[in-house]
Structure 1
Amino acid sequence: RYRAPVVPVMSVIAAVAVLEVVRSIRYRKVRSIVIISVIFLGVALLSSLPGPFPAEKANYEAELYYAAAGTLKRRNRPDEAVTYYRKALELERNYTEAYYNLANTYAAIGKLQKAIGHYREALDLKPESAMIHGNLAFYLVRQGRLEQAVKHYKEALRIKPDSGRIACDLGRTYAQLERFDLAIESLNKALLLKPDYAQAHSYLAQIYRQKGKPDLAREHFEEAIRLQNKPFPQLRDKTDIIEY
């Protein structure tokens, strides 16, 4: 009775393992076959031991559903992954990683409002996560909610002040709000933290061009090309952004 609720989860994991074995046999990956076989036998032996076990509680089941969801997501089956992430959250309401990865999955299939909602739930549980603040800010930008995005990028940078990427993203968002002085300040900070950051040079070039400073624009544009060997696309509108 302890293991019955996780049978569907184990079935998914077992099916994926079988597919990996078949693929490994096809390509003669002996090491992979051995590793998968050992894992399979280990799981089978542990499952056959008499119970009950202290670990076999709701949180244990939640972790299995979470693992199955990750497997389904990697297999490009996001709708099924969503179902398993939600099941994990039914079993463990304080599962930060499940909220975060459910949000990522919704974002990947274009359901941004649902993604944003679950990022916020993850932040309620882990408010000092720069990564969650950063991802939430990125998708707020995608929805044109730039003021809210700035708030979360600033929080992310407060938590992780040595991140050139976050400083660059904040600068880019300020530029989209046409707050060019703040944008320049943030982008220069990004370059102090990461001097070879081509994106930051590209954004600075665009800002200086809009401010009527062609010499500075050319300097940063040429540096961006030198670092990346190709020009970056211009920011055409509020949704023209770099993946976080």
Structure 2
Amino acid sequence: MPTLTCQQIVTNARRLLRDNDPDGDFAHSDEVLLGWLTEGYTDMVILKPSVNTVIETFQLQPGVEQTLPDGGVIPIRGISNMGADGAIRGNVFTLADSKALYRGFPDWMLHTADGSVQHVLPSPTPTSFQVYPPQPDPAHFVALEYSAIPAEPADINALISVDDEYAPALTNYIVHRALSEDSDHPANREKATMFHEKYLQLLGAKAQQEMASSRRTS
């Protein structure tokens, strides 16, 4: 759970930018930096979906093509079927590769509709996915874990919407965006690139830690 506030992230970013006017006459306003912080949430979730995930029970749509709830980006893990009313936990389903399904069943989209999902097929298009078999009308409910864009902070004193361990990456993203705005100066372009690479490195290092942890516990 996060314990750091957006103000703390903005303050750290200002320190790296050397934007520390004692009278508060900053080169970049709180509003601007908070906007880049929010932008950073979206970028982080796209690059590393596990940064922010949600488990939700929701009703599917008739047929194959499905849409994640508002703010959803990609499916992460199937939890279970939840029946016609969303209240009865049923069989577990898995994420699958659509290419493998096509190889085994080229006509799978034409198969008989069934409310019990066997596979969820992630789509190259964010926010959408497919299910097998097709859903009947009315469609049934599923419980699904998916990556989601965090909500915008109410104000600068709000807690950040990702775990504290992602705070350094978020700070580097804000600094990268601030320097990119001043990219008329060659030195700022170089610094912007450096902070963006650091941001990516921090996310990558975190991904490697998660993979190692998964291997140890599997």
Normalised TM-score (structure 2): 0.25
Normalised TM-score (structure 1): 0.23
- Relative to its length, the structure with more strand (as a share) is 2
Of structures 1 and 2, the larger Rg is shown by: 1
Q: Which has the higher contact order (CA 8 A, sep 6+)?
A: 2
